Amino acid sequence: MRRANMSLMLRSLRSGDPRSRARLATETGLSKGTTSTLIADLVGLGLVREDERERTGAVGRPGTAIAIDGGRVFGVGMEINVDYLALTVVDLRGRTVHSAVAALDIASTPVAEVLDQLARLIEDAMRLARARDGQIVGIGIGAPGIVDLESGSVRFAPNLGWHGVAVARELAARLGPAGPPIRLENDSKLGAVAEFSVRENQDIEDLLYLSADVGVGAGIVAGGRLMRGWSGFSGEVGHLPIGPQGVACPCGRTGCWELNVGLNAFLALAADQGDVVHDRSVPLEERLRALRGRADSGDGRVLAALSTLAANLSIGLSVLVDVLNPRMIVLGGYFPSFSDFLLAPITAALEARRMDLGSSAILVGSKLGLTSAARGGAQLVLEDVFEDPTIAASK
């Protein structure tokens, strides 16, 4: 009961400005006495603080206002990508306090070495939290492919060449007893969690997030909830059979959509092999900036590649719109680097195929950059604190 009330109070504080105990009591329907006790408990756990003044706008002496304390409790999110590892540290107020991206060609790096590097990134974050006298409540890691939530392992990630990698167990062994709890989730699903939380229109409950690097995947939020499917396989849209017929995909199938719209397909269309944009030792963001520069200066080859990409994206998105009826579609991964060239032709293609008279889905490029999955991972573990604030005590 106490735990549930603490959760209610913390969630109530998450939305809106800092405010007085009296107002919080009214909003939550709890008595003033209970409210004061709960707030004292939350202050004790380092989750809220009472040094801010209530902004009522009323004349007179301002009262003490209660606010979520962002400085003590952190969630860490990570992404294992084909081309890089990303880490982000988010505080309880949702602010990013640290992030790091390390370029790494994962498929040609031994798994143990990738795990060592992940562990080092986590240790950096743990040092940062300690230096602020704070704690990391959990680590949410996104990986491409099929993930087993229960064991925290990657069952199959074709573009990494990983089969049955026990990520959570291996990292826990490297971090030792001081290591925070680890959760593994599919990267596109974490990207969807992050995009859903930063959507400007809070009325939107049905969102489709399309992530794109070498692989392409979708994270689906339906009715405000992340859709996983019965075995967590939902959203593997990169392997829909709407790509180049007969061409083999690392997943074992042929003709997959990501062979048309994934990063490698786009790079092959946009530049010859040997061009710097194919060099995987160069950070992806730098390579995308170079291509974006060429598009802006009217490079015919890059513009033709973008036009082909828009056409191929439209085919798959029209299928997804028919199946899922999203209100909003967010293009992530490498797509937002080219939003100006992609959004208009895709919107027009979707509009041309629309059957009903209702309004179409809103198509936008992600504003979170390449690390939206990492951000989603951090939010996933911080959500556990809002669910059960007492976990912050187990330092």
Nearer to Zn ion, 46 or 250 (CB): 250
Using CB under 5 A, which of 249, 373, 374, 382 touches Zn ion? 249
CB of 228 to Zn ion, least distance (A): 20
Q: How far is the CB of 5 from Zn ion (least distance, A)?
A: 48
Task: Choose one: 3-11, 237-245, 276-284, 352-360; the region binding Zn ion (CB under 5 A).
Answer: 237-245
Q: Which is nearer to Zn ion, 70 or 244 (CB)?
A: 244
DSSP 86-153: EEEEEETTS-EEEEEEEE--GGGS-HHHHHHHHHHHHHHHHHHHHHTT-EEEEEEEEESSEEETTTTE
261 binds Zn ion (CB under 5 A): no
Interface with Zn ion (CB under 5 A), residue from 65, 256, 317, 346: 256
Taking the least distance from each CB to Zn ion, the nearer of 199 and 253 is 253
Residue 155 binds Zn ion, judged by CB under 5 A: no
Residue 251, interface with Zn ion (CB under 5 A)?
yes
Beta bridge partners of 77: 88, 140
Alpha helices (runs of H) in the chain, residue ranges in sequence order: 2-14, 21-28, 32-44, 111-131, 167-175, 187-198, 258-261, 263-270, 284-296, 300-324, 339-353, 372-387
Spatial distance between the Cα atoms of 81 and 114, rounded to a whole number of angstroms: 11
Nearest-Å Rg of the Cα atoms of the chain is: 23
Nearer to Zn ion, 98 or 253 (CB): 253
239 binds Zn ion (CB under 5 A): yes
Q: Site for Zn ion (CB under 5 A): how many residues?
A: 5
Which part of the chain contacts Zn ion (CB under 5 A), choosing from 31-39, 129-137, 250-258, 366-374?
A: 250-258
DSSP string, 197-219: HH-S-TT---EEEEEESSSEEEE
The answer to whether residue 353 forms part of the interface with Zn ion (CB under 5 A) is no
Is position 253 an interface residue for Zn ion (rule: CB under 5 A)?
A: yes
Q: Which residue has the tokens 């939902």?
A: 234
Residues at the contact surface with Zn ion, assessed by CB under 5 A? 239, 249, 251, 253, 256
